[in-house]
A and B are shown apart, each in its own frame.
Chain A
Amino acid sequence: MSLWIAIAAVAAGSFLIKGIGPAALGERELPKWSTGILALLAPTLLAALVVVEVLGRRWADFDATVLAGLAAAVAAYLLRAPMLLAVVAGVVTTALLRLALG
Chain B
Amino acid sequence: MQAEPSPRRRFLDGVRVGTGLAAASFVLALTFGAAAQEQGWSVPATIVASVVIFSGSAQFALLAALAGGGATLPAIAAALLINGRFLPMGLALGPSLTGGRMRRALQGQAVVDASFVAAHTGHGRFDRYRLFGATVPQWPAWVAGTAIGAFAAPPGDLVHDLGLDVAFPAFFVLLLIGELRSARSGYLSAAVGAGVAALLLWWAPAGVALLAATVGALLGLRARPLSETSDQS
Contacts and interface: CB of A to CB of B under 8 A. Distances in A.
13 contacts: A6-B66, A7-B45, A11-B49, A35-B88, A43-B183, A52-B209, A59-B198, A69-B170, A74-B174, A87-B27, A93-B166, A94-B163, A94-B165
Interface residues of B, number: 104
Contacts of A36: 185, 226, 229-230, 233
A19 B93 CA distance: 11
A22 B111 CA distance: 11
Helix, strand, loop or mixed for chain B's interface? helix
Interface of A: 2-11, 13-15, 17-30, 32-33, 35-59, 65-66, 69-70, 73-74, 77-78, 82-84, 86-87, 90-96, 98-99
A44 B192 contact: yes
B176 A17 contact: no
Contact of A66 (B83, B165, B192): B165
Interface of B: 20-21, 23-24, 27, 41-42, 45, 48-49, 52-55, 57-62, 64, 66-68, 72, 75-76, 79-95, 97, 101-102, 104-109, 111, 114, 160-177, 179-180, 183, 185-187, 189-194, 196-198, 201-202, 205-206, 209-210, 213-214, 217-218, 221-222, 226, 229-230, 233
